[in-house]
Amino acid sequence: MYLEEYNRWLKGTFEDADIMPELMKIEGNDDEIKDRFAVSLKFGTAGLRGVLGAGTNRMNVPVVKQATQGLANWVKTQGGNQTVAISYDSRLKSDVFAKTAAGVLAANGINVRIYDALMPVPALSFATRYYKCNAGIMVTASHNPAKYNGYKAYGPDGCQMTDDAAAIVYEEIQKTDVLNGAKYMSFAKGVEEGLIRFVGDDCKDAFYAAIEERQVRPELCKTAGLKLVYSPLNGAGLVPVTRVLNDIGITDITIVPEQEYPNGYFTTCSYPNPEIFEALKLGLELAKEVDADLMLATDPDADRVGIAMKCPDGSFELVSGNEMGVLLLDYICAGRIEKGTMPKDPVAVKSIVSTPLADAVAKHYGVEMRSVLTGFKWIGDQIAGLEEKGEVDRFIFGFEESYGYLAGPYVRDKDAVIASMLICEMAAYYRSIGSSIKERLEEIYSQYGRYLNKVDSFEFPGLTGMDKMNSIMSSFRENPPKDFAGYKVEKVTDYLDSKATGLPSANVLIYALEGGASVVIRPSGTEPKIKTYFTTLGKDLEEAMKQKDALAKSLNL
């Protein structure tokens, strides 16, 4: 079957000049042909994601056309103003895929609002809501290596598409022939006919204004003298992050020169993820050189941000996603109470795999902390629920341990632009009172306990990867462990059982252990990985780390 499909592609004609040479190059190589054609990229709630290249199991123009035709078929059943917003990041072919998607939508009579230059995930979410679109498309593979690209689909609320809508789109995709099933007109023709229009300055300015309105201590940054080193990691963050920081008064910004401008090859870091040290290495070196107060980096689609904070001895220390989530929650709560801007019955939201330290901080400030499934759309879902009740202003903050943060309901996905603003404001505030982010974090630990949260990932690549992951998860369910490293399992929560959890069904297992530690096992929804999350609580970091290492060793995945 896969050979037939390969031969059919060999007879095709493609606008993308890279496809045919690649098809010719793999001729006679059964393993390569099978890898590219035995399956198709699956469209789910996270859209599409895959390696760039020729074939049904790759990201390329025909696959993007097919997916967009499926989306168009769904949009046409939705009524409304029949409009889709599109944005893209700096990845290889992101602009090509974005314009290809626009051409398919236009050929289906659907209006398109597309950014005239790369813009991040939150800007796409904002435009989808601003123009009251039926859907949104963000062309990105987030923080994956350069060989990947992808296509995130959004619903009318600016949240990533619901399971039900994604299932319908996937059904429509399967009905569409990948080589000739999609309607299509050139981007130029779509513009000429008025079906494709660029996102206006009014929308861009409204996005920036919505972010800047969420300052906790307005005017503070103008006099604080914060010195920042920033890296957009060759992605979409440069323009929006520097615009907002300049607007609020942070002007002493040194950009990491090798990572300043868009470059989809990500030549300075093979994995452009602000969660890992290698991605921040050049920025850290520059921060030490210029004696900065803070080093900050956003990922290619600028929905995640990582930082390194300055320590009293002048060195820099990376801050984990959990630590930054807790720091921002603490700063927002204390600041809004001080300024009298805290809403009545405030709500914060975190994912179930994020640190329980956030629950303790929320309780201290009288904030209701809600825990939801992993995936920022579930945080967006909580905002939508508050909006339906006319209580959207109760939402003050949401975060995931994987460096995603949002303060405010103006978008429904994680936003590294507002997170960058609030992190810089927080750093400026602590600097202005003779303290620092590092000192405040130590105060939080001494107040609530020394929590440690660590994540380990195990990769399962290739066609059999998913089978291996499923087998591992089944094994944990069929032979439930009684202990991990001698720490007795006191409670198991299986998120497949939605009746027991009160949340939608998800392939996640959480083991609560004696002494307050926990182990979470979760397959990634977007990558061939199983992630394990460890939370330990010790009298000091050394004790917490020792327990984490013992728990990790006992898992033996």
The catalytic site residues sit at: 142
Half-sphere exposure of residue 346, counting CA atoms within 13 Å on the CB side?
22
Please give the torsion angle defined by the CA atoms of residues 389, 391, 394 and 397, in that order, rounded to the nearest 10 degrees. Answer: 60
Instruction: Give the Å distances, CA to CA, from 72 to 103, 108, 114, 316.
Output: 11, 7, 16, 48
Encoding tokens for residue 456? 């380990």
Nearby residues of 433 by Cβ (< 8 Å), 6 or more positions away? none
- What is d(CA 21, CA 36) in angstroms, rounded to the nearest whole number? 14
Backbone angles phi, psi at 506, to 5 degrees: -150, 150
Q: Which residues of 273-299 are buried (b: 16+ CB within 10 A; e: fewer)?
A: bbbeeebbebbbebbbeeebbbbbbbb
Residue from 360, 364, 387, 384 nearest 372 by CA: 384
CA distance linking residue 546 with residue 557, whole number of Å: 19
* CA-based torsion, 378, 379, 382, 384: positive or negative: negative
State whether the Cα torsion 171-175-181-185 is positive or negative: negative
CB neighbour class for 332 (10 Å; exposed up to 12, middle 13-18, buried from 19) = buried
Give the closest residue to 74 by CA, choosing from 102, 39, 107, 108. 108
| Amino acid in the structure at residue 102 | A
> 8 near 180, Cβ under 8 Å?
no
Q: Are β-strands 404-406 and 509-513 bridged in parallel, bridged antiparallel, or unpaired?
A: unpaired
Cα–Cα dist 556/162, whole Å? 34
